[in-house]
Amino acid sequence: MPSPTRITHWIDGREFTGDAERHGDVYDPATGQVTAQVDFATAADLDAAVQAARRAFGEWGTTTLTKRMAVMFRFRELLNEHKEELAEIITAQHGKVLSDALGEVTRGLEVVEFACGNAHLLKGGYSEAVSTGVDVYSIRQPIGVVGIISPFNFPAMVPMWFFPIAIAAGNTVVLKPSEKDPGAAMFLAELWSRAGLPDGVFNVVHGDKEAVDALLVHPDVASISFVGSTAIAEYVYSTGTAHGKRVQALGGAKNHMLVLPDADLELTADSAVNAGFGSAGERCMAISVVLAVEPVADDLVAAIAGRMATLRTGDGRRGCDMGPLVTSAHRDKVAGYVAAGEAAGATLVVDGRQVHPDGDEAGFWLGPTLFDHVTPDMTIYTDEIFGPVLSVVRVASYEEGLELINSHPYGNGTAIFTCDGGAARKFQQEVQVGMIGINVPIPVPMAYYSFGGWKASLFGDTHAHGAEGFHFFTRGKVVTSRWPDPVHGGINLGFPTHG
């Protein structure tokens, strides 16, 4: 077994070995082996990254749009050229199957492509002759050094929800990726360098709470974009804003799929399986609850279970459908929820603990699991499990299903399956959730729209990417200007009105 490689920080355009008194193990979840050790930053390491970013901001923030756009285009080309390599890194550290890892990179690439349109997105407005000889116009400027803190489940895509836009808008970045799968961020840093991004514009600092806390309170950091669990999102939001930062903190989820009796059963069953078990359920847009409006439940549960029997769980490099969970601790936590659901009286239709994986027996395996007759008081219903566990709750009506969705604390994504356009339209209007699918189970918005949930799924006012992304990473000025002409107004001490 080769000895673990060392992963250290990326600061000022090169690898940076800091104090490194603490480090974390990085696993290959499909073999259970430690493949790398990642340095954990101290506050001093974090400060080195922020200072590099601050120095770089001086020039990058005023570099012309044309030059910034040229770097963005080169980065886009390199990312596209090397997407398979990046997907392999993701699979080796996260565990998701290769095709899914490639899908993640593709969705990140879409944000890069969107950010290549920075010249258009940073345009202001202009009003001529608001008063005699007076024009008014607005401009948007970068905010400075921006901090990004990302979760393990999308080690490439989630950072790319933010940094392409931040950089295209003229900011400089300090990224703190998840310590569980830090390799993708380092690969992206190298691509930026090769694309010609000046040193210090994009920095990566690894670590845990110590690095996060140092970023949250650093006086030279203008904003924080966080994605992770709700408990940490709340903490990041309150600490970051208390230190004067602009913060967007995206949290956890419990996404419901409401199935009306007139739904296309085959499409619905396919969608429930794809959205429930893709990436082993470790997606913030995974479906974890199916609300079956009777009398559809018996047929739907049978159709879902039938499809689950065909799924192959195993090493993501072997063409399997579903990979392992990210760590043994997380696998055990999810398996604990399966035991809790059984003990609470839900019907365990498919038990993923019995899985025979196509992979090393030391991998962090748990197969797809299906519960029926779940009730809203059970922890498998109330909690975000973040694993391959799908719960079916039987409801009597559309109204009962809607009420459950709206009273759940999370509001990230939801979907309705029906052939009734009027019902779907009513649902999109009445549901208290940020992202809605109509016969689409994972409604992740395209890069030119914005991503974000409601309620305990997002703290802050601004969603990720799209026009809101450019808004978050810039601040506005409005200029009222008059150039001397032969006509002067003379002295007037009254409050200026634009007559």
Residue at shortest CB range from ligand NAD:
228
- Binding residues (CB under 6 A) for ligand NAD: these are 149-154, 158, 176, 178-179, 208-209, 212, 227-229, 232, 250-253, 284, 384, 386, 412, 453, 457
Q: How far apart are alpha carbons 182 and 35 in whole angstroms?
A: 12
Measured CA to CA in angstroms, residue 439 lies from 89, 94, 211, 254, 471 at distances of 33, 29, 41, 18, 31
As measured in angstroms, the least distance from the Cβ of 413 to ligand NAD is 9
CB 206 within 8 A of CB 41: yes
Measured CA to CA in angstroms, residue 260 lies from 276, 294, 398, 420, 435 at distances of 18, 8, 7, 9, 19
Copy the structure tokens of residue 341: 């659901």
84-103 exposure pattern, b = at least 16 Cβ within 10 A, e = fewer: eebbbbbbbbbbbbbebbbb
Return the number of the residue (68 or 176) whose C-beta is nearest ligand NAD.
176
Q: How far apart are alpha carbons 26 and 436 in whole angstroms?
A: 35
Return the number of the residue (268 or 288) whose C-beta is nearest ligand NAD.
288
As measured in angstroms, the least distance from the Cβ of 467 to ligand NAD is 18
Return the number of the residue (384 or 468) whose C-beta is nearest ligand NAD.
384
Within its chain, how far is the Cα of 209 from the centroid? 19
Provide the annotated active-site residues: 284
Q: How far apart are alpha carbons 47 and 131 in whole angstroms?
A: 48
As measured in angstroms, the least distance from the Cβ of 212 to ligand NAD is 4
Question: What are φ and ψ of residue 436, in 5° steps?
Answer: -125, 135
**Could you check whether the bond before residue 151 is cis, i.e. omega within 30 degrees of 0?**
no
As measured in angstroms, the least distance from the Cβ of 483 to ligand NAD is 48
Return the number of the residue (108 or 453) whose C-beta is nearest ligand NAD.
453
As measured in angstroms, the least distance from the Cβ of 232 to ligand NAD is 4
CB 166 within 8 A of CB 53: no
Residue 83: its H or E element: helix 83-94
Return the number of the residue (250 or 296) whose C-beta is nearest ligand NAD.
250
Amino acid at 179: E
Copy the structure tokens of residue 55: 């120095």
Return the number of the residue (170 or 228) whose C-beta is nearest ligand NAD.
228
* Cα torsion angle, 111, 116, 121, 124, sign: positive
As measured in angstroms, the least distance from the Cβ of 299 to ligand NAD is 30
Return the number of the residue (208 or 403) whose C-beta is nearest ligand NAD.
208
CA dihedral 90, 91, 94, 96 (to 10 degrees): 120
As measured in angstroms, the least distance from the Cβ of 158 to ligand NAD is 6
